[in-house]
Amino acid sequence: MTPLLRQVLSQVDGPDPRANEVVAALVAHLHAFVEEVRPTEQEWLTGLDFLIETGRLCTPHRNEFILLSDMLGLTSAVDDVNHQGPANMTPSSVEGPFHSPAPVRALGDWISHGPERGRGTPTVVHGRVLDCDDTPLAGSEVELWQSDDAGLYDSQDEAQEIGNLRGLFTTDAEGRYLFRTIRPSSYPVPTDGTAGRLLRAVGRHPMRPAHLHYRVSAAGHRPLVTHVFLAGDPYLGSDAAYAVKEELIREPRVRDSGWEMDGPYEEIEFDLRLVPLDWKPE
């Protein structure tokens, strides 16, 4: 430890022990980073300007810091350390920047009501919300949001009404949910800010594999925020947000008829197993 680092750490002595722990570890890692990288003063200023610009880009509708965190794998790392549970639980995954309140819909409803309905692949998505012992969780809230067939969310696309491709469902007595939609597309994250500049600097693409977002809550259980990903997507192995987990990938099945659909469609079945609030590691 350098004398300088020892001096800085000796003055971390506030009333909140956790705050002291966090600040001391952050300072120690930052000093180690400087020792390793030996940035020039111009590089240090460039780094500070990058953070200042990231803050300037943030608005009530855009959070460039969350995007930057996602692109660095930081959001997924925080997710990993906070969501331990039984082996068969449905893993969580990052919320991403596109969540907003969803309209309440009835089981079986379409969530696609924009021009994408005439272009996209009709898709039925269904499954059950269960406890980790497979007990159905009736009355659970299942909130969905997804992009359209061009990879755009309602907030990014003037052709879509706000609330399109979103829905809030309540599971039936068997814990089942079901809705009709169109197949989402892979899409690039916004690249016109500092997160995009970082991706270009290190030679990375901005694509996220096709997915639907879920936020599920049930009495007596931990809320779950996760994704379901579509098998076969070319970006599954290189998600710009590092959010893919094997257990979250499903293969859409092609069907000729059923579920009151007008013609052929794809079916995605995805059960979600929630962790009881009182779960403790063995």
State which amino acid sits at residue 251: E
Task: Kindly tell me which of 184 and 252 has the beta carbon lying closer to Fe ion.
Answer: 184
Task: Kindly tell me which of 151 and 276 has the beta carbon lying closer to Fe ion.
Answer: 151
Mark 84-123 with x for binding to Fe ion (rule: CB under 5 A) and - for no binding. Answer: ------------x---------------------------
The rounded distance, in Å, linking the Cα atoms of 108 and 25 is 50
Least distance in Å: CB of 127 to Fe ion?
A: 19
Least distance in Å: CB of 211 to Fe ion?
A: 6
The rounded distance, in Å, linking the Cα atoms of 152 and 129 is 27
C-beta nearest to Fe ion: residue: 96
Task: Kindly tell me which of 95 and 141 has the beta carbon lying closer to Fe ion.
Answer: 95
Least distance in Å: CB of 164 to Fe ion?
A: 14
Tokens of 271: 């059960």
Least distance in Å: CB of 157 to Fe ion?
A: 13
Cβ-proximal residues to 121 (8 Å cutoff; 6+ apart), any chain: 149, 182, 183, 265, 266
Task: Kindly tell me which of 166 and 176 has the beta carbon lying closer to Fe ion.
Answer: 166
Task: Kindly tell me which of 93 and 140 has the beta carbon lying closer to Fe ion.
Answer: 93
For the stretch 179-211, what's the b/e string if a residue is b when 16 or more beta carbons lie within 10 angstroms of its beta carbon? bbbbbbbbbebebebbbbebbeeeeeebbbbbb
The rounded distance, in Å, linking the Cα atoms of 270 and 251 is 10
Task: Kindly tell me which of 90 and 147 has the beta carbon lying closer to Fe ion.
Answer: 147
Least distance in Å: CB of 241 to Fe ion?
A: 8
Task: Kindly tell me which of 96 and 114 has the beta carbon lying closer to Fe ion.
Answer: 96
The rounded distance, in Å, linking the Cα atoms of 14 and 263 is 66
Tokens of 104: 């309440």
Q: DSSP label at 236?
A: G
The position carrying tokens 């990052």 is: 94
Spatial contact of 95 and 215, defined as CB atoms under 8 Å apart: yes
Least distance in Å: CB of 138 to Fe ion?
A: 28
Task: Kindly tell me which of 96 and 196 has the beta carbon lying closer to Fe ion.
Answer: 96
Q: DSSP label at 92?
A: P
Least distance in Å: CB of 249 to Fe ion?
A: 15
Spatial contact of 208 and 239, defined as CB atoms under 8 Å apart: yes
Spatial contact of 240 and 71, defined as CB atoms under 8 Å apart: yes
Least distance in Å: CB of 61 to Fe ion?
A: 15
Q: Which residues of the shown chain bind Fe ion in the complex (CB under 5 A)?
A: 96
